Chain A
Amino acid sequence: MNLEFLVRRLIQMIPLLIAISILGFSMMHLAPGGPLALYTLNPSVTAEDVARIEELWGLNEPLPVQYLTWASNMFTGDFGNSFRGGAEVRHLIVERIPATVELMGASYAIAILLGFAIGALGALRQYSIFDYLATTGALVTLSIPTFWFGLMVIFVFAEQLGWIPSGGYQSLGRGGGGLIDRLHHLVAPASVLGLVLTAQWSRYFRSSILDVTGQDYVRTAHAKGLRRGTVLRRHVLRNAILPIIALAGVQLPAVFSGALVAESVFGWAGMGRLFLDALTYRDYPVLMALLMITAFLVVIGNLLADIALGIADPKIRTG
């Protein structure tokens, strides 16, 4: 890996992150009613109360000052306190990370394994019945609203068959929280999100492998008499694998979005659920923190994808 490429790529991230933070900050503050909409509209909260809250939260400072204070605090990992309950935002989020990581991790695993298998089979038997069914099936799956897909899974497998719990992160009370219990709760949301991602990724994997099988060096390998299996293993798959790693990075925003939807339907106590709860109460510090954290991770994901592609294709490094 070329160090100069890495450094240049890291430096490019800085203006992007600043622009992201400015956009996020303006979005929250230009919103009608602003951060205090919930209080100003509440008849039992007096004007003096609002003024006091503004003073307390520094909302009467000029916007650029507010932005700089907020951005520098955020830079040190201080996201402020929740408008609702006053708990530290950092604490609230850290609490929710494991659930989201579990859900996203399990879905990633399902989607990469299944998507790769389906995509590879489709590419190697291009225009076969399997290929046709797989690509059509993927399009059908992508057309089903994820939240409704989740609802139907709950309806069939929880309400009708009783195989899975109808939601939640773990059972309450005795017997709750064990590994088996948590896996039992994880199956449905991870399968739903995993299948949606599988549908999307099998198409990428298919075209990624088709790209490689069309390359000259693959034809050369065939021409020099290597067996089909050897060509596949040594030449095709090895070169198709890095674009797949890159895809995992590039697709991070879609996975975050999907995780939020799955969390909302299955009552999964992760970051997406926290975001929706914060939205209900217009809890700005929590919303801002989650927006910034997800955007930051997306930028990192893109960086990792670029690095993976840079390793795969030396031409990109110099670009």
Chain B
Amino acid sequence: MAETGAATLVAAGERRGAHEGFGRRVARRFAQHRLALAGLLVIVALFLASALAPVLAPYDPNRVNPLERHQAPFSPSHLLGTDEVGRDVLSRLLYAGRVSLTVGFAAMIVTIVVGSLVGVVAAYYGGLVDTILMRLADVFLSFPTIYLLLVLAAFVRPSVLSITLIVGATAWMEVARIVRAQFLSIKAQDFVTAARALGASAPRIMLRELLPNGMAPIIVAATLNVANAILAESYISFLGYGIQPPQASWGIMLNNAQDFFTRAPWLAILPGVAITLAVLSFNFVGDGLRDALDPHQRRR
């Protein structure tokens, strides 16, 4: 009797597992990760705020007003105060978010595309091609990232596009290694052979077997990459080699804030809070995705 009961339970469990698709299982695990969920909400909010900047911003972000310099936050007409030439800080933060988030996302895409291409080509051809590409990754990894970023940034005309490409060019190596390892290990795994033996078509194998099993580390890397790209852009712009004024990015808003520490500390505090909030959210989401996508994760 007890055996039958156990067997029924196992069967029920399997049936539930079979009915709950991969996407739903991931979503359920992700939702259990409260900080990741909060991170996702913050990211959505930041995106909406940046996208709606023209609607939400109370002023033109570049409107200079010498009469209203260094207004403290919560002043009657400026919620987050004004900077050294009287520009509205809230408006600038909103518009800066557009630039910073765009660079973060676009650089991530560059990283993933270049990294995946290098990884797949290396794993597919193997031999000399593999050796050359992976040694190239070693070469790039031998330079401290910031040194490489700054040299490249200092030698090209700075723009959103060039900064994006530079950040991507210095970050593809990790993705290339992950993709290569994934490609090599999945190709040789039993379930892929089994699926093929069962007569599954190539697209089915790729969609149902390779994609869910191979994408997880790439998705996680992509999320963390956005965080790192936002950090990289902010530092390059802070030093003056990135986004050029009058265009605003969170990094460049900090560029000369140090000179006004005593008079206007909010100029140094607010953009940094914005960067930290965005980066932290992407890191939390990345962490949550890592847990949710890991098939070995024990059920909670």
Contact in complex: B276, A291 (CB < 8 Å): no
Write the nearest CB–CB distance from B165 to chain A, whole angstroms. Answer: 14
A256-298 vs B: 1/0 string, CB under 8 Å? Answer: 1100110010000000000110010010000100110011001
User: Cα distance A20–B136 when bound, in Å?
Assistant: 9
Among A40-48, A77-85, A151-159, which stretch is in contact with chain B? A151-159
B229-250 vs A: 1/0 string, CB under 8 Å? Answer: 0010011001101000000000
B254 at the A/B interface (Cβ < 8 Å)? yes
A68 at the A/B interface (Cβ < 8 Å)? no
Nearest B residue (CB) for A298:
B142
Write the nearest CB–CB distance from B252 to chain A, whole angstroms. Answer: 12
Question: Max chain A CB contacts within 10 Å: which of B143, B227, B235, B262?
Answer: B143
Contact in complex: B147, A152 (CB < 8 Å): no
**Residue from B235, B257, B283 within 8 A of A139 (CB atoms):** B283
Q: What chain A residues lie within 8 Å of B151 (beta carbons)?
A: 27-28, 279, 287, 291
B36-59 vs A: 1/0 string, CB under 8 Å? Answer: 000000000000000000000000
Write the nearest CB–CB distance from B21 to chain A, whole angstroms. Answer: 29
Q: How many residues of B contact A (CB 8 A)?
A: 46
A168 at the A/B interface (Cβ < 8 Å)? no
Nearest B residue (CB) for A294:
B144
A159-B262, A298-B144 known; A275 and B257 CB under 8 Å? no
User: Cα distance A15–B134 when bound, in Å?
Assistant: 13
A179 at the A/B interface (Cβ < 8 Å)? no
In the assembled complex, 14 residue pairs joining A and B whose CB atoms fall closer than 8 Å, in A order, are A32-B156, A136-B35, A139-B280, A142-B283, A144-B272, A145-B235, A148-B272, A148-B275, A155-B261, A159-B261, A253-B142, A253-B145, A260-B147, A295-B142
B residues contacting A by CB (< 8 A) are 35, 135-136, 138-148, 150-152, 154-157, 227, 231, 234-235, 238-239, 241, 251, 254, 257-258, 261-262, 265, 268-269, 271-272, 275-276, 279-280, 283-284, 287
The 3 closest A-B pairs by CB, nearest first: A31-B155, A148-B272, A143-B280
